[in-house]
Structure 1
Amino acid sequence: MSASSATGTSRTSWRWAIAVVCALGLAINYIDRSAISVSLPYMTEDLHISETQQGLILSAFSWSYAVMQIPAGSLIDKFGERLMFGAAVFVWSLCTGLTFLANSFAVLFGLRLGLGIGEAGAYPAAAKTVSRWFPQRERARGTSVYDSGARIGSAVATPVIAGIIGLWGWHYVFLIAGILGILWAIGWWALYRRPEAFFGRVSDGELAHINEGREEEARLTAQASTDTAIPVRILLRKRAVWAMMIGFFCVNFAVTFFLTWFPTYLVDERGFDLLKLGVFGSIPPICAIVGSWCGGLVGDFLLGRGWSLTRTRKTCLVVGMVLTAFIGAAAAVPTAGMALTLMSISYFGSAFTIVTIWCLPGDFVPTSTVGVLGGTQNFFSNIGSALNPIVVGALYGATGAFGLPLLLSGVVCLVGACVFALMLPNVAQIDFSRDLTHAQGATA
């Protein structure tokens, strides 16, 4: 097809291809995150790592990841998702690959910090990409596509990493994952463009579809006399931003268990060997893939049925958080099968929730600010991610069981449901014109 015919009135569907490429990047993201948790039970003997040091290693990623969220979001808004998404993947993949050479706690801890710095840009960049490529009424499905990549990465990671460990040892897990990410980054830099500059492939019909419903965003941007990112200090004055941050903190506190201590829980408390870990350990992540798809489909379906944006987003958030709280019930059941079922429901619920959470930046702010708002909410949420491995490790070490940490995670999820139900205001583009006027007057 010629470029001229591609840009005619017939509608192309390149936005879905872009979402799939983002999904692949996030799949690599979560494979790299999961590599340490699956490998850690088999690394401890080689590196002589204590339980306390294991907790520090598992949390190191989250601390640097959280600290870098706002800077990463700001860089994405300033330099664009093409440059920064590729740079993020390249940095974290380099740190993953170098883990092949880790020979001590200190080296491993440092590389985990580097991994967090690189991965900080992944979700804000994907959120900005989908905000740019999808109209609001399709944004939940677009978000579910790239978010499901993270869940696919988690599901694939456990059996594949267990297989690599069985064949060649834990070192090669990190070498293979690092090479895969670097190849993705090179491909992204070479191929990604914005809709209007996508090699003449995006039709006029698809461009019109992508820009559908952006009139209010354009009006408020013009009224605020800025097309640059809104400063973080102004975002933090808004109740919506605090509700997003606190609610995301709660779901991330729970979901981080699956990315860190879950394999150890199955091996130590439920008696799984390597084979069972590889087979049954992938069930909750598979359920999370379905949860991500359902989050996108349900959200867009409810909007299509005439539900308001506020009612749609709040319903999905609260229902998802309640389902995520099922992780707490796993503490009270006697069998591994029952615990695995409850955790599968919980992981499903977390993915269902997170799809809607990542729609909120595009719902509340213009595209120019999606990166920094996404980074801001992700910063606070990843404080929960950083705390979870330490808290779980401390409670596990003190009690010798995972019951209390799981119960605590369930309670935190119920708190998050209340935050989204009661604290999150009506979902609509925020008018920043008055805030920006005051800020400009103060600096005049």
Structure 2
Amino acid sequence: MNDVALSEAEQVINELMALHPKGFDMTLGRMRRLLDVLGNPQNRLPPMIHVAGTNGKGSVSAFCRALLEAAGHAVHVHTSPHLVNWHERYRIGQRGKPGVLVEDALLADALRRVAEANRGEPITVFEILTAAGFLLFSELPADVVVMEVGMGGRLDCTNVVDHPAVSVIMPISFDHQAYLGDRVELIAAEKAGIIKKGCPVVIGHQEYDSAREVLVSVAERLGCPMSVYGQDFRAHEEFGRLVYQDEFGLADLPLPRLPGRHQLGNAAAAIRAVKAAGFDVTEAMMEKAMNSVEWPGRLQRLTEGELVRLAPEGAEIWVDGGHNPGAGEVIAEAMASFEERQARPLYLIIGMLNTKEPLGFFRAFTDIAESVFTVPIASSESGLDPVALAQSAYDAGLVAEPMSNVADALRVIADRQLSDSPPPRILIGGSLYLAGTVLAENGTPPK
């Protein structure tokens, strides 16, 4: 399945993309019509943990999965976008062992059935992909579904389950303003659309008080049992350990496998969400989850592979798909913390889509990066020109140079490496599309 160009599901998706638009068209009408024809599989799911937020929702989904699998539960997981293979969007739960990516023939069959049920009516490819997830998850036994919102919340096509076990809303900042609004309060209101009357809500750490106030207000108005980070639960690092605390007590845990201080809050939100969804959470479960959690393309360290071999010997290489100012801040904080432990010059290799805000992203790195190499995103028609992207980095106070691809940037870094300088730290990021391309070219796709 590494060569998805040969996969049956990929062929079906390519056919669908030729017939239907790839972009977003925010409405639930088409999705509800299609699901009705399919017999409303979204109403036959196991308990669902629904996760929204500008940043952190993928990590929280990964933590939820790790926690539940630590107790032996079968966990279906739907995330988007994928990095290398379409199959990454659908992880099928197995009782007593970790879930696996959906089998190719199974996904192809679900996609064909959804397309047939749609009967050629107007619809987006993302809606067909999501409907296929609902169909698969309703037909394969599991104990719980973790469903990540694609964009926004209120009109996202995952938002068709009337009674989720818990709705989780992670940090809200600026992204997709053309669809969600240009003020954080408006974006928060869209994310709050996944909150359902009387259903539990977990609100993760919020950088903006105004965003948290909107979320709390909606939850209160709908009569939802509510847990707010910093008020009802919290987490911090102490003596190299993660300390989680809520009204039920305190847990002394290992730091998560996922690096970065921001992952402490993500882990805490997942623990609280699993509890709020009605599952018992033991300290043994939490400890196992912190040691086993995986989330590719988010501060993922590459230690071997085709691209790694192009970098200077001993270089530390990280890949992260974060692409907005909020993500830039948490990634830069992680890089700074690595620098505190071991000093190395930091180089950025960045590619971004033209829908993002590169200046805000780059400003987070102004005081810590030696220089930036900007690259195109070959896998998307919406990639920013590397010259324009380099100008944004320059405007943020960084030394920047456009390059033709990641491999060339790594070669340049290697050529300029001085013999008496420590091996560099290299961050490749700015887009999940770029992260996926890097993992594919390096020969290390998600599994």
TM-score class normalised by the smaller sequence? under 0.3
Higher helix fraction: Structure 1 or Structure 2? 1
Instruction: Specify which structure has the higher proportion of strand.
Output: 2
TM-score (norm 2): 0.23
Higher relative contact order (CA 8 A, sep 6+): 1
